[in-house]
Structure 1
Amino acid sequence: MPTPADGEPVTSLNLVDTDPAELPVDAVVIGVHSVAEPEAGRSPLLLASGAESIAAAFDGRLSETLALLGATGAAGEVTKLASLGTVTAPLVVAVGLGPEPTGAAPDAEVLRRAAGSAVRALAGSAGVALSLPLSDDPSGADATRALRAVAEGALLGGYRFVAYKSKPAPGRRDPVETVSVHVPDAGDETMRREVDRAVAVTAAVRQVRDWVNTAPNDLRPPDFADAIAGAATEAGLSVEVLDENALADAGYGGILAVGRGSSAPPRLVRVAYRPQGSAARHVALVGKGITFDSGGVSIKPAQGMWEMKSDMAGAAAVAATMLALAALKPAVAVTAYLPLAENMVSGAAYRPGDVVRMYGGKHVEVLNTDAEGRMILADAIARAAEDEPDYLVETSTLTGGQVVALGKRVAGLMGEPAFLERVKAVGDEVGEPAWPMPLPDDVRKGMESDVADISQVNAGMDRAGHMLQGGVFLSAFVPDGLSWAHIDIAGPSYHAGEPFGYWTKGGTGVPVRTLTALIEDVAANG
């Protein structure tokens, strides 16, 4: 399997407190806001906090000059201006932050996207300084939140996957080598810890993107299992990999059924993180790892099927979250279960009408082999529940119904209502929004089987409420009383359009930042 980072440098990040106008960098980035109704003769732009010394070097005419160049202050818009010696950096770059915020600083997600847009636009630069609005209190919550956002955006915005390029594309420029974030006090320990955290978390996000973007012929279940095991072992985590024989001996019928049609046999990877000393809470994470989904006998349409290489994004996100936890060391025990299979068509493939004995003994009537994710996840959830965790979180590219209902950027949430609100709050905080959805009784009733314990889908509803059907099915394998959440990332896990903010084309890394922040929240609050 090629290494996605081959020949592709990774941006480094540091803190500076030198006057931005005097920094010896290739470009200095400032923020600008749009003014909805500027007064007559006044600029339609408002310079954001952090741009004061740069503005002074331009004798107060910087906003007017940027407006003449076409800058509007729209969120994520990048406008470049040659400094002509007015400041040390040869280039001043204004990045739009949208309308002037009503509070003290822009929303964290606005800053995250702005930093990503600016750093991507400055590819080819050796050094870039970001002087974006942060709180004057370097250790305050607003300042750390803003710094986290800027650092994450900067480190992710320049990401690019070039593993299969035999030679550089014409005009391709390497990512920015070093980003310096301007803060009031570069020696502040709180700020320095935020940088360390951003480096660990964005490294995990980049790892997800690398795995998701890898061609499916190079990342079949045994390959993916080896890649996860290697990365986890290197990070100091404990790993167990069950091959097809071990899966059969233990009764993982769902994983085996889905993987039966492929010449590359399935795997179940267990990764465990244990903090030093005692842990008051234990969290189980489960991620769907379908390395390619043809739909099986219920084959998918050919159009766009190539994107099904991303059907393992849930497992990639969970595995990479474990790598982040190994670096951050929260005081929570975390165990991840990653079922990996390839859903293919062959004479050995499982069929509509089959009855599968799942891990734990439940029998499932298969009605659609393209609803394979829930089959492997049910086995993994049942096994994870045996560890008696306090919380169980599962994430998967489970249904196209998530995209129909919530679009490409908002994940679907199902599970125990109180816990869902907690997961939603964390996702909103880190810029990975999700929306709670119901688990209706009528959907469950329509999944009663004449021959088994449960049907895989609600045949009477067809595709209606398909996201809900997936959640209802999974809920049948969660023990009563366990706080759990299912995060459907079918849309947010893969971005097929042009880059924007800190998202580039391909895998996004969602929901690594949500899972990591949730674990930290459990460590802090139980």
Structure 2
Amino acid sequence: MDFELKSLSLAQADKLATDALVVLVPDTPALSSEAASALLELTQGVLKQGDLEQGVAKALMCYRPAGVKATRVVLVRAGDGSPSSVRKALLSATALVKTAGLKKMVVFLGLLESETAAIRSVMLACADATYVYTATKPTAKARTLTKVTIGVMDVAAAKGEFNMGQAALSGVEFAKEWANRPGNHATPTMLADAARQLGRKPGIKTEVLGLKEVKALGMGAFMAVAQGSAEPLRFIVMHYTGAAKTSAPVVLVGKGVTFDTGGISIKPAGEMDEMKYDMGGAASVLGTFAALAELKPAINVVGIIPSCENMPDGLAIKPGDVVTSMSGQTIEILNTDAEGRLILCDALTYAARFKPRCVIDIATLTGACVVALGAVRSGLFSANDDLADALAAAGERSQDLCWRMPLDDEYSEGLKSNFADMGNVAGRAGGAITAAKFLQKFTGTLNWAHLDNAGTAWKSGAAKGATGRPVPLLLQFLADQASQTAAAPRKSVSKRKPGTSVAVKATRKSAAR
């Protein structure tokens, strides 16, 4: 989908020949400052007569109104004009017109108090409303909407948000594409090929490790999960270099279980098909790298994806088995369906070799997080307040929301084992937290955060499909980090203690083990 940013007034919009013209109408539209136009008269008349129902996303479509070249004009309520309200408004407006062979659309933002803040929401909502998965469905009709023009009063002020929107859109759609693919069309090998594809973009390099290399590294927990599948494991390492080589990177670790049966602790048959989405964390890392290639922020990023299937064949790990992780810590496998944390723990140990400024893992890790937060917010876990605050702020700004959860030491009690350094589960109570506490045991002095996107990575029911989350959050966080690093005076950075801010020099105590 092609987006264009254009300087536009209502009077100029009168003359645009397009399939649909969407005018966002906030609670207090700035109509008096507009020059006379047919659209202005239409909007004023509709509001005066009360024909546009009150409430965010309420819309009225007019077919070929007098004095306007657009085939259809949609007036849609945008409430307070916030990014959240704008997103709802665009989803509603696009739904009204997309069934009519929509190819070109113009969205006018000039009536909003802050048109710049709305741009990213407009772009992502338009793309989301018209997205069609076609990779394994040849009968599906691909989206017909090919071009969206966003009309604003001040193009120069809006350009930065427009660029962020373009990058986020690329990342979200790349993540959706791979998360939506069935397990037999998104194996670990295929996921590695997707990473190699991204590695051909400027600034990105990709390395893929196989069983031989993983075994040499001592990743016993990762190998244990993979051993029950005929599909070979892949350990994917991606590098985006946007800053000096001496600048410590942000490391993103994505869970890449391309299909999860639960292993010997097999899942119920109902909705097991949705376990193709268990690589939602990996998809978000791939999507973030696709977005980085577009935005090109001045920051270094490493992406790590441990990828395998979790299957129940004769070689599969059994409840009660004990495995040795890359860190040297032993783990009693009490439930083979708690496999994500097993592949992530070795990846977190591996991440330390990059001496990162921070490490963020993303995983569709627990059903408990879905129970706690539903599909609205991803779970956020971190012992570092600065890192947690930065991620939460990035989520708010990108409208890719998360919620900080506790990490009290008492939650680790249930992970104790009589036969290993720890068990891999700690019972049902507080399951999302105890899973995070398990991962924390492998972070050492790393400045670490965990995002559990089990409730936000995909939708079920009639709207079943991947969401691409939390790509917008991660991209915003990385852009913020790049800006903070560029703005920070060198003297102030050198005097700060490691770990006090995610934008300062990372601790050097987290060397690889």
Q: What's the TM-score bracket when you normalise by the shorter of the two chains?
A: 0.7 to 0.9
Structure-1 residue corresponding to 2:506: none
Which range moved further: 53-62 or 332-341?
53-62
Confirm whether residue 477 of structure 1 aligns to residue 445 of structure 2: no
Return the match for 2:409 from 430, 433, 441.
Answer: 441
Q: Aligned-pair distance for 1:498? A: 5.2
What is the CA–CA distance in structure 2 between the aligned matches of 1:59 and 1:324, rounded to whole Å?
37
Q: Aligned-pair distance for 1:154? A: 2.6
What is the CA–CA distance in structure 1 between the aligned matches of 2:316 and 2:102, rounded to whole Å?
51
What is the CA–CA distance in structure 1 between the aligned matches of 2:239 and 2:480, rounded to whole Å?
19
Confirm whether residue 22 of structure 1 aligns to residue 21 of structure 2: no
Q: CA distance change for structure 1 residues 248 and 148 in 2, over 3 Å: closer, same or farther?
A: same
Confirm whether residue 144 of structure 1 aligns to residue 116 of structure 2: yes
Q: CA distance change for structure 1 residues 329 and 486 in 2, over 3 Å: closer, same or farther?
A: same
The C-alpha deviation readout for 1:481-507, integer Å capped at 9, x for no partner, is: x321100000111012455xxxxx410
Superposition RMSD on alpha carbons, in Å? 2.3
Confirm whether residue 175 of structure 1 aligns to residue 175 of structure 2: no
Q: Aligned-pair distance for 1:278? A: 5.3
Structure-2 residue corresponding to 1:321: 288
Q: Aligned-pair distance for 1:230? A: 1.7
Structure-2 residue corresponding to 1:507: 466
Return the match for 1:162 from 86, 109, 134.
Answer: 134
Q: Aligned-pair distance for 1:84? A: 3.3
Return the match for 1:385 from 323, 348, 352.
Answer: 352
Query: Which structure carries more helix by proportion?
Result: 2
Structure-2 residue corresponding to 1:494: 458
Structure-2 residue corresponding to 1:421: 389
Structure-2 residue corresponding to 1:368: 335
Confirm whether residue 84 of structure 1 aligns to residue 77 of structure 2: no
TM-score by length of 1: 0.85
Secondary structure of the residue aligned to 1:510 is coil
Structure-2 residue corresponding to 1:114: 89
Pairwise mapping of residues 394-473 of structure 1 onto structure 2 (< 5 A)? 394-418=361-385, 419-458=387-426, 462-473=427-438
Q: Aligned-pair distance for 1:175? A: 3.1
The C-alpha deviation readout for 1:53-88, integer Å capped at 9, x for no partner, is: 4553338322256x54xx424333443111333322
Q: Aligned-pair distance for 1:180? A: 0.9
Confirm whether residue 202 of structure 1 aligns to residue 174 of structure 2: no
What is the CA–CA distance in structure 1 between the aligned matches of 2:133 and 2:172, rounded to whole Å?
13
Cα pair 1:112 1:153 within 8 Å, conserved: yes
Q: Aligned-pair distance for 1:317? A: 0.3
What is the CA–CA distance in structure 2 between the aligned matches of 1:404 and 1:192, rounded to whole Å?
39
Cα pair 2:203 2:241 within 8 Å, conserved: no
The C-alpha deviation readout for 1:233-278, integer Å capped at 9, x for no partner, is: 2354111101112111211111111111111011110001112545
Q: Aligned-pair distance for 1:91? A: 1.2
What is the CA–CA distance in structure 2 between the aligned matches of 1:451 and 1:266, rounded to whole Å?
27
Pairwise mapping of residues 64-103 of structure 1 onto structure 2 (< 5 A)? 67-68=50-51, 71-98=52-79, 101=80
Which range moved further: 126-135 or 344-353?
126-135
Q: CA distance change for structure 1 residues 353 and 285 in 2, over 3 Å: closer, same or farther?
A: same
Q: Aligned-pair distance for 1:49? A: 6.1
- The count of corresponding residues between Structure 1 and Structure 2 is 478
Cα pair 1:232 1:271 within 8 Å, conserved: yes
What amino acid sits opposite 1:439 in the alignment?
A: L
Structure-2 residue corresponding to 1:248: 215
What is the CA–CA distance in structure 2 between the aligned matches of 1:225 and 1:51, rounded to whole Å?
54
Q: CA distance change for structure 1 residues 197 and 244 in 2, over 3 Å: closer, same or farther?
A: same
The C-alpha deviation readout for 1:452-478, integer Å capped at 9, x for no partner, is: 1111011xxx21111011100000000
Pairwise mapping of residues 329-348 of structure 1 onto structure 2 (< 5 A)? 329-348=296-315
Q: Aligned-pair distance for 1:231? A: 2.2
Structure-2 residue corresponding to 1:37: none
What is the CA–CA distance in structure 2 between the aligned matches of 1:148 and 1:54, rounded to whole Å?
28
Secondary structure of the residue aligned to 2:125 is helix
Return the match for 1:126 from 86, 103, 106.
Answer: 103
Instruction: Extract unaligned runs of 5+ from structure 2.
Output: 485-502, 504-513
What is the CA–CA distance in structure 2 between the aligned matches of 1:279 and 1:324, rounded to whole Å?
23
Aligned identity (percent) is: 34
The C-alpha deviation readout for 1:399-431, integer Å capped at 9, x for no partner, is: 000110011111111112412122111101110
What is the CA–CA distance in structure 2 between the aligned matches of 1:25 and 1:50, rounded to whole Å?
25
Secondary structure of the residue aligned to 1:229 is helix
What amino acid sits opposite 1:448 in the alignment?
A: K
Secondary structure of the residue aligned to 1:513 is helix
Q: CA distance change for structure 1 residues 344 and 456 in 2, over 3 Å: closer, same or farther?
A: same
Q: CA distance change for structure 1 residues 231 and 361 in 2, over 3 Å: closer, same or farther?
A: same
The C-alpha deviation readout for 1:294-352, integer Å capped at 9, x for no partner, is: 00000111111111110001011012212211222222211111000101110011111
Q: CA distance change for structure 1 residues 120 and 211 in 2, over 3 Å: closer, same or farther?
A: farther
Secondary structure of the residue aligned to 2:283 is helix
Structure-1 residue corresponding to 2:496: none
Secondary structure of the residue aligned to 1:88 is coil
Q: Aligned-pair distance for 1:441? A: 2.1
What is the CA–CA distance in structure 2 between the aligned matches of 1:128 and 1:476, rounded to whole Å?
51
The C-alpha deviation readout for 1:87-137, integer Å capped at 9, x for no partner, is: 221211122324xx3xxxx2112213322442344322222111135667x
Q: Aligned-pair distance for 1:279? A: 5.7
What is the CA–CA distance in structure 1 between the aligned matches of 2:85 and 2:40, rounded to whole Å?
25
Cα pair 2:366 2:452 within 8 Å, conserved: yes
Cα pair 2:31 2:40 within 8 Å, conserved: no
Structure-1 residue corresponding to 2:4: 13
Confirm whether residue 61 of structure 1 aligns to residue 45 of structure 2: yes
Secondary structure of the residue aligned to 1:61 is helix
Q: CA distance change for structure 1 residues 173 and 275 in 2, over 3 Å: closer, same or farther?
A: closer
What is the CA–CA distance in structure 2 between the aligned matches of 1:491 and 1:77, rounded to whole Å?
28
Cα pair 1:296 1:345 within 8 Å, conserved: yes
Q: CA distance change for structure 1 residues 401 and 48 in 2, over 3 Å: closer, same or farther?
A: farther
